[in-house]
């Protein structure tokens, strides 16, 4: 009798263990944050690829994408608040995928979002200013010079205006494809200048617990490879990878970028 009971208990324990091991982990939501002069649409090709693999995604359109707004009201804090509003109803773990200026918006949002389920940040050719720094503090003079080949600051309005479309395309991507150039220009918008004057703030202990990854773009003229290395050197990365593209791999090389993003995901 004792032997029968023991076998029964062992079987029950084994079945319970199997049920536990087969239980699905909480769904990880990928939240895509675009950079300057772009909209959420810039991520559309990457998102389509990842959704085919079963990932949940949110593409956030930050404020200041419409020329009817007052750019001087679109501060770093306002942008971060909009990001927090977009993820407020997400209950499971969150992975931010931040491009360029979006890295500053994400880092600053950590002090604004009322939730604690942000588990990962994947920076794609992004700034990642630490607590107390401005978004572009680690960029070099060549980055700035390249940026202003296609963009002018309109002090009267507060917009960073795309003033030379051909130059804008030539420094934002290394692609020679007319299709890629057309895609970039069809999506490009003027950018509120005041975002760059914000100061990033977050709780350092919370930031240290978030898994951080970096995707470097070696042909980048907007945030050069050397600047990216300096930026990443300020934060503790769990992993990183290098891809041979310009500043906009989500438009010029979506399959390559999506493949690398997947390698960082649980």
d(CA 50, CA 56): 8
Predicted confidence band at 23 (pLDDT cuts at 50, 70, 90)?
A: very low
Q: Please write the tens of the pLDDT for every residue from 195-226.
A: 999 999 999 999 999 999 999 999 999 999 99
d(CA 261, CA 214): 10
CB 109 within 8 A of CB 90: no
d(CA 128, CA 265): 20
Residue 12 is predicted with a pLDDT of 42
Percent of the chain with pLDDT over 70: 90
Residue 185 is predicted with a pLDDT of 97
d(CA 62, CA 68): 14
pLDDT at 10 over 50: no
Average pLDDT over residues 160-172: 98
Q: Please write the tens of the pLDDT for every residue from 24-41.
A: 456 789 999 999 999 999
Average pLDDT over residues 173-189: 96
Predicted confidence band at 116 (pLDDT cuts at 50, 70, 90)?
A: confident
Higher pLDDT, 112 or 7: 112
* Superfamily per CATH, domain 26-264: Alpha/Beta hydrolase fold, catalytic domain (3.40.50.1820)
Give me the residue spans of the domains in the chain: 26-264
Torsion of CA 93, 98, 101, 106, to 10 degrees: 10
Residue 1 is predicted with a pLDDT of 52
Mean pLDDT of the chain: 91
Q: Please write the tens of the pLDDT for every residue from 223-242.
A: 999 999 999 999 999 999 99
Global pTM reads 0.90
Residue 25 is predicted with a pLDDT of 56
Question: CA 202, 62, 48 angle in degrees (round to 5)?
Answer: 105
pLDDT at 169 over 80: yes
Residue 14 is predicted with a pLDDT of 43
Predicted confidence band at 108 (pLDDT cuts at 50, 70, 90)?
A: very high
Residue 26 is predicted with a pLDDT of 63
Predicted confidence band at 19 (pLDDT cuts at 50, 70, 90)?
A: very low
Q: Please write the tens of the pLDDT for every residue from 41-90.
A: 999 999 999 999 999 999 999 999 998 999 999 999 999 999 999 999 99
CA 182 vs CA 38, 75, 185, 232, 251: distances in Å: 14, 29, 5, 31, 10
Average pLDDT over residues 238-258: 98
Residue holding tokens 């003033």? 163
């Amino acid at each position: 009798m004792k032997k029968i009971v023991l076998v029964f208990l062992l079987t029950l324990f084994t079945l319970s263990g199997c049920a536990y091991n087969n239980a699905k982990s909480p769904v990880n939501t990928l939240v895509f944050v675009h950079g300057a002069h772009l909209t959420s649409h810039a991520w559309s090709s990457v998102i389509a690829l990842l959704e085919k693999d079963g990932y949940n995604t949110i593409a956030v359109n930050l404020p200041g994408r419409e020329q009817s707004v007052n750019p001087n009201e679109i501060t770093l804090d306002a942008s971060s608040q909009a990001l927090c509003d977009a993820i407020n109803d997400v209950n499971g773990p969150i992975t931010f995928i931040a491009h360029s200026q979006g890295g500053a918006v994400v880092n600053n949002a950590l002090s604004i979002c009322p939730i604690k389920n942000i588990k990962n940040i994947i920076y794609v050719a992004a700034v990642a200013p630490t607590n107390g720094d401005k978004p572009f503090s680690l960029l070099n003079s060549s980055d700035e010079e390249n940026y202003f080949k296609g963009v002018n600051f309109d002090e009267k309005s507060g917009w960073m205006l795309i003033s030379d479309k051909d130059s804008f395309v030539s420094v934002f991507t290394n692609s020679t494809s007319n299709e890629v150039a057309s895609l970039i220009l069809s999506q490009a918008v003027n950018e509120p200048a005041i975002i760059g004057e914000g100061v990033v703030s977050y709780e350092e202990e919370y930031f240290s617990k978030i898994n951080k990854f970096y995707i470097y773009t070696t042909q980048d003229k907007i945030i050069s490879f050397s600047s990216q290395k300096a930026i990443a050197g300020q934060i503790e990365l769990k992993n990183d990878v290098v891809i041979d593209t310009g500043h906009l791999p989500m438009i010029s090389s979506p399959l390559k970028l999506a493949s690398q993003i997947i390698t960082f995901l649980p």
